[in-house]
Amino acid sequence: MKSVKFLLSLAFAVVGMTALAQNPDFSNDALYGKYGATPEEREHNIYLLNFFNEAVGNQNFQAASGYLKQLLDRCPKASENIYAKGATVFKNKIARAKSVAEKKTYIDSLMLLYDLRIENFGDHPTRGKAYILDRKARDFLIYNPLDHERVLELFREAIAANPDPELVAIYFKQLTDYYREDGEGSPDEIIAEYQRLSPVFDGATGQAAEYKDQFDRCFGISGVASCENLETMFKEKLAASNNDPDVVAQAFDLMSRAQCDSEFYFATAELFYKVRPSAETALLLAEGFQNKNQFDKAITYLTEALAVEKDNVEKEKLLVRIGVVQLAMKNYAEARKAALEAQELNPEDGMPYFVLAQCYGAQASTASFASQAIYWVAYDTMEKAANLLEDENLKTTANTLMAAYRSAWPSKEECFFNEVQVGSRYVAAGVPTTVRCIR
Look at the alpha carbons of 201, 203, 209, 213 in this order and tell me if their dihedral is positive or negative.
positive
β-pair partners for 434: 425
Q: What is the pLDDT of residue 22?
A: 56
Q: Which of 81-90, 231-240, 263-272 has the highest mean pLDDT?
A: 81-90
Tell whether the model's pLDDT for residue 260 goes beyond 90.
no
Q: What is the pLDDT of residue 71?
A: 95
Tell whether the model's pLDDT for residue 7 goes beyond 60.
no
Mean model confidence pLDDT for the chain: 89
DSSP class of residue 330 equals: T
Q: What is the CA radius of gyration of the chain?
A: 37
Q: What is the pLDDT of residue 392?
A: 94
Nearest of 378, 329, 332, 326 to residue 354 by alpha carbon: 378
Q: What is the pLDDT of residue 301?
A: 87
Give alpha helix (H) positions in 24-164: 29-32, 39-57, 61-74, 81-95, 100-121, 129-143, 148-161
Q: Specify the long-range contacts of residues 366-373, CB closer than 8 Å, at least 24 apart.
A: 366/408, 369/410, 369/414, 369/418, 370/428, 372/408, 372/409, 372/410, 372/414, 373/410, 373/426, 373/428, 373/433, 373/435
For 96, 111, 149, 181, 317, the CA distances from 103, given in Å and listed in that order, are 8, 12, 19, 25, 58
Better-scored residue on pLDDT, 110 or 293? 110
Mean pLDDT to the nearest integer, 102-113:
96
- How many angstroms from the chain centroid is the CA of residue 167? 16
At 134, is the secondary structure helix, strand, or coil?
helix
Half-sphere exposure of 361 (CA within 13 A, CB side): 23
Tell whether the model's pLDDT for residue 339 goes beyond 50.
yes
Tell whether the model's pLDDT for residue 186 goes beyond 80.
yes
Q: What is the pLDDT of residue 348?
A: 95
Tell whether the model's pLDDT for residue 241 goes beyond 90.
no
Q: What is the pLDDT of residue 12?
A: 38
Strands 425-428, 431-434: pairing kind: antiparallel
Q: What is the pLDDT of residue 81?
A: 94
Mean pLDDT to the nearest integer, 325-329:
92
Tell whether the model's pLDDT for residue 172 goes beyond 90.
yes
| Top CATH class, 281-347 | mainly alpha
Tell whether the model's pLDDT for residue 8 goes beyond 60.
no
Is 158 in contact with 114 (CB distance < 8 Å)? no
DSSP structure string for 344-412: HH-TT-HHHHHHHHHHHHHH--SSSHHHHTHHHHHHHHHHHHHHH---HHHHHHHHHHHHHHHHTSPBH
Mean pLDDT to the nearest integer, 39-64:
92
Cα separation, 122 vs 124, whole angstroms: 6
Mean pLDDT to the nearest integer, 68-85:
94
> For the chain, which residues make up each domain, given as ranges?
163-225, 226-276, 281-347, 359-389+400-439
DSSP class of residue 26 equals: T
Confidence of residue 23 (pLDDT cuts 50, 70, 90): low
Half-sphere exposure of 371 (CA within 13 A, CB side): 8
DSSP class of residue 285 equals: H
What percentage of the chain reaches a pLDDT higher than 70?
94
Which residues are within 8 A (CB) of 61 and not within 5 positions of it... i.e. 6 or more apart? 55, 89, 92, 93
Mean pLDDT to the nearest integer, 251-259:
84
Tell whether the model's pLDDT for residue 15 goes beyond 70.
no
Mean pLDDT to the nearest integer, 41-48:
91
Tell whether the model's pLDDT for residue 10 goes beyond 50.
no
Q: What is the pLDDT of residue 305?
A: 84
Nearest of 68, 152, 149 to residue 109 by alpha carbon: 68
Mean pLDDT to the nearest integer, 166-182:
95
Q: What is the pLDDT of residue 386?
A: 96
Mean pLDDT to the nearest integer, 96-114:
95
Q: What is the pLDDT of residue 237?
A: 85
Mean pLDDT to the nearest integer, 4-30:
50
Look at the alpha carbons of 35, 36, 40, 45 in this order and tell me if their dihedral is positive or negative.
negative
At 20, is the secondary structure helix, strand, or coil?
helix
Which residues are within 8 A (CB) of 42 and not within 5 positions of it... i.e. 6 or more apart? 26, 32, 33, 35, 36
Phi, psi (5° rounding) for residue 430?
Answer: 80, 10
367-426: per-residue pLDDT in tens? 899 999 999 999 999 999 999 999 999 999 999 999 999 999 999 999 999 999 999 999
Q: What is the pLDDT of residue 11?
A: 35
At 145, is the secondary structure helix, strand, or coil?
coil
CA dihedral 415, 418, 424, 426 (to 10 degrees): -110
77-102: per-residue pLDDT in tens? 999 999 999 999 999 999 999 999 99
Q: What is the pLDDT of residue 14?
A: 37
